[in-house]
Chain A
Amino acid sequence: MHSEVGTTLAEALRDELSLTGTKVACAEGHCGACTVLIDGVPTLSCITLVHTVGDAKVTTIEGLRDHPMVHAFVREDALQCGFCTPGQIVSAVALVDATPKPSTEEIRHAMAGNLCRCGAYPKIEEAIRTWQD
C-alpha cells in the first residue's frame, strides 16, 4: 500500500488494487454497498481507514465469487441494477457463516444496513433462505 494516511479501505481496494467489485455509493457509511469482511465481520470499507486494517484478513466479493450465495442471488433474481449486490452478498455470506439457516427476522435484522434502491429485498431474502439449494 502506498496510500496516504486518511485513505479508506474502499479507495485502496478500488484505486490501488483495481478490485472494483466493491462498490462505493455514498462514501460516508450509510448505504452498505462497500461492505467487505474484515476477519469475517461485515465492515463498511468506505469509512475504514486502510492503515487501521493491519494484519487482519480482508475478504471482498472477489474472494467470494464461487460462493453458493452468488448463485443463489442469480437463481432467485435477487438483483436488479446490481450496484449494491456485491455488498449484499458479502453481508449475506457473513450471516450464513454464523447462522446457516437464518429466520426471516434474522435475515431482515442482519441485512438492514445494505440499501437497495431497486427494491430487490424480497428476492434477496429468498436467496439467503435457499442459499444451500
Chain B
Amino acid sequence: MARLIRTEKEVEGRYEEVWLVVEEDALEQWPAGPREIVGRPATRIDGLERARGEAVYTADLKLPGMLHTAVLRSPYAHARVARIDLAPALALPGVHAAIGPGELDVLVEECGFQGVAVAAVCADTYAQARAALAAIEVDFEQLEVLIDPDEAVARGELIGEPRVRERGDLERGLAEADVVVTGEYRTQVVLHNSMETHQAVVQWLGDSLEVYISTQYIWGVRDEVSSSLGLPPDKVRVVCHYMGGGFGSKNEAGDFTFIAIELAKRTHRPVRCALTRREENLASGNRNATIQRLTIGARADGTLTALGGDYVNATGWGGWSSPVEGPMQMLYACENVKTTTWAAKINQPPMKAFRAPGFVEGTFGLESLLDVLAAKLDIDPLELRRHNYATNDAADGRPYSSKNLLECYRRAEPHWERRHEVRARSTETVKRGVGMASQIWYGGGGPPSYAWVRVGADGRATVVTAMQDIGTGTRTAMAQIAAEELGIPLAHVTVSLGDSARGPFASISAGSSTTPSMGPAVRAAAADARRQIEEIAEQRGTPDAPLGEIVGLLEDAQILGKGGRGPNPTGMQVLTFGVQVAEVAVDVETGEIWVDRIAAVHDVGRVINPLGASSQIEGGIIQGIGHTLSEHRLHDPRTGQILTTSLDAYKLPTFADVPEIVSELIDEPDMQLTNLGSKGLGEPPIVPVAAAISNAIRDATGAEVHELPISREEMLRALRAAALKEKVGAPAGI
C-alpha cells in the first residue's frame, strides 16, 4: 500500500527533508550468501555492444539535418564583456544562428571564471562553427582576480555560511589529552575527465523537446529543462542509452544543453553541442582544492578526546561546500569534536561532485594525522583505529543499520602483517613500507525509484525503468535481481533503460545510490510478476508448475509487474565502511613513488555481482592513485588561468601506474535496509586510497606528506623535513 512519509534524502553527503509517497516493502530479504544468480559473478549484459563499438553514445548520435555548435568561453578568470558583435560570425558560410549574453541565462557578460559560456554559434559542420566562433568580435575588460582561498575567507567571499558542527567541548577534550598532534593538509584540484565529454543533441518536435545527453540523471535533466523552459515535464523526453563516464560531473543539465535547446529552437533543426576536451577541463566541474588545519587530542592509551578541524573548500565561482569534515565527524568515537568548513568563492571554475566529494580529501587529512598520533603514542595504527571504533553514529548517536568495519579490520590483518616483510626489503635508496586507512561514506540510496517487469509467453522477462547505466554495470545487476526473483536464467532477462518516455522514474546514478535505490524496486516488480504467475498457476490447479509452463499459455498477453523502492529504516544511519592497506616503495633520492600493492576490504551489504564489484573497486583505487600521485590541475598564480586542460599536461594514471590490487567484500546483507540489504559501491573504494598511500610513505621513510598530489617536489620536501627533524631532534608533529 502506498504511504506518504516525510523522510531524509541523502545524495553525496547532502541531506534534504522531503515528502514521499512510498510503497511498503513487503518482501523478506533473501538469506545471506550467493543465490542462484545474485551474488555470483556475471559478465555485463551490454558488454558485447560496448566492446564492439556498436553501442551508440551521445557522441555518436547523428540526426538528419543536425547542426554543430561551438561555444565562446571566457578566456579570463574574471572579466566583463565590454563589447561583443556576433554579426561577423553570422556572415560566414554554413552558419545558422549565433547567440550571446542576454539571450540565454547560461550566456553571461560578467565572467567569474575561465570557461564560463559567453556566446555560441551553430553551423552545418563543427569546423564552420569553430571558424565562426573565431570571427565573433569580443572585447573583455579584465577584472581583479581572487584565487587564494584563505584570502577569500578572510575577505568574507564565501558561498553560503560557514558550516559549524560541534559536539561536546573541544577545549575540554584537548585539556584531557595526554598528547595533541596538529597538522595542515592540502589537496589539489582534480578533474573528472570522463572519456566522453559533456554533450547533448536536442531536437524540437512541435512543442515537445527531445534531449539526448550524456548524463547520470535523466530525470534531473528533465526537471531542469522543463522548469527552465516552462514546459510540462512530459513534453521533455530525455534519452541516455550509453554514456562514457561521469564520476559525479554529469548530474546536471549543463550550459551545453540549454545552448543546444535555444539554437535548435531558432534554427528548427536538431543541434549538437559537445564540449572539447579542453572545454571539459575548464567548464564541467572538478574536485575542489581544500586546506585542512587539524588537531587531534588523545589519552596515552589511544582514546581520542578531541578532534578539531578548520576546513577551507576552494569551491570556485559556484557549486557547494563538500562535506570535507565528514570523516572527522563520523569515523571515530570521540566526545569532543568541532569542525568549521568555509566555502571560498574564488575566480576558478565551480566544483561539482566527484566520487565521494569531501570524503576523499577529508580522509587524507584525518587518517594521515591519526598515524602521526599512533607513532607518537607508539600504538599500532590498526589497534588505534579499533580502540576508537564507533558503535553508534559518532556524530548524532543514531544506530547504524549495519556496520561490519571490525570484520573489515580483521580481514585486513594478513595484509597489515606483511609490513614487517615489506620493510625488510628496503635498500639504501629505496625504502618500503605499509600504510592503512579506514573508509566511511554514505551509499544507502533511497526512494523514490520504480521499475516494471514484463514477462511474455516465451518465459523471458524485460525490466523497464528509466534509469541510466553510467558504466558501473547497472543493467547487469538489475537483470540478475529480476532473474533471481523470477527463477529464470540471466540470459532470459533484458533491461530497457535510458529513456524518460519509456519507463518510470528512477534514481540518479550518483552517490553510490543506484543499486541500493533501484535494486529493491526491480526485485519488487519481479516479485509482483511472479505473484501474478503463481496466482494463475493456483487457478489452474497446478501451483507447482514451472514459470515457463504457465506463461506459455499467454500468447500475446503479458504479465506486468510493478515495484517501488521502500523507505529507508527510520532513525538509523545507513553507511558504508572499509579499510585499505597500501604497500609502497620510495626512492629517497629522486622522490619517485611506486604503489606496489593495495588490499581493499569493504562492507557494502549484499553483493549483487562480485565480478562487477571487483571492477568498481579496482577502478576506484586506480582513480585514487591518480589523485594521490600524478593528477593536478594547475593554474597561473597571477591570472588564475588554467594551464592543464589537455591530457598530456593533466596526468591520468596509465596502465603502467597500476599496482597489484586485492579486493574483498564482506557480503553481509544489511538486514535493516530494503528487500536486498545492498548498499552502493561506486564511491567507497576511492575514499581511503590517498591516506593509505601517505601512511605507507611515512612507514617507509618517516617523512610526513602534507599535500596532494605527492609529486616529486612534495616527496623530496617531506624527506628533507624528516631528515632535518632527525638531525635536530625536534619533536614529532608539526
**Chain A residues within 8 Å of B, Cβ to Cβ:** 14, 18, 20-28, 30-31, 33, 60-62, 65, 70-71, 73-75, 77, 79-86, 89, 107-109, 111-125
Contacts and interface: CB of A to CB of B under 8 A. Distances in A.
Given A117-B245, A119-B653, A124-B655, 7 more contacts: A26-B647, A27-B276, A84-B244, A85-B50, A108-B656, A114-B655, A119-B621
8 contacts: A25-B197, A33-B195, A83-B59, A118-B245, A119-B621, A122-B658, A122-B661, A123-B618
8 cross-chain pairs, A with B, having the tightest CB-CB distances, nearest first: A21-B53, A81-B471, A82-B50, A83-B244, A119-B622, A119-B619, A74-B47, A30-B647
A89 B473 CA distance: 19
A99 B561 CA distance: 52
Given A33-B195, A70-B51, A125-B655, A119 B277 contact: no
Contacts of A109: 656
A123 B611 CA distance: 10
Interface residues of B, number: 53
Interface of B: 43-44, 46-48, 50-57, 59-60, 62, 192-197, 242-245, 247, 276-277, 470-473, 611-612, 614-615, 618-623, 646-648, 652-656, 658, 661
> DSSP majority for the A interface?
loop
Nearest to A69: B51
B197 A79 contact: no
Contact of A80 (B54, B277, B471): B471
Contacts of B47: 73-74, 77, 79, 82
Nearest to B623: A119
Given A74-B48, A80-B471, A117-B652, A26 B621 contact: no
Contact of A115 (B43, B50, B247, B647): B647
Contact of B51 (A30, A74, A118): A74
B615 A123 contact: yes
Contacts of A113: 654
Contact of A121 (B470, B472, B648, B655): B655
Contacts, number: 161
Contacts of B48: 70-71, 74
Contact of B53 (A27, A62, A118, A124): A62
A49 to B, nearest CB: 14
For B43, B48, B53, which residue has the most chain A Cβ atoms within 10 angstroms?
B53
A20 B316 CA distance: 36
A23 B195 contact: yes
Contacts of A20: 53, 56, 59-60
A82 B471 contact: yes
B194 A81 contact: yes
Most A Cβ at <10 Å: residue of B56, B194, B612, B621: B194
B600 to A, nearest CB: 12
Contacts of A23: 53, 57, 59, 195-196, 244
B620 A119 contact: yes
B62 A86 contact: no
Given A80-B619, A108-B656, A70 B195 contact: no
B497 to A, nearest CB: 15
B52 A61 contact: yes
A130 to B, nearest CB: 13
Nearest to B41: A77
B647 A77 contact: no
Nearest to B659: A122
B471 A26 contact: no
B43 A74 contact: yes
Contacts of B646: 26, 28, 30
A70 B655 CA distance: 19
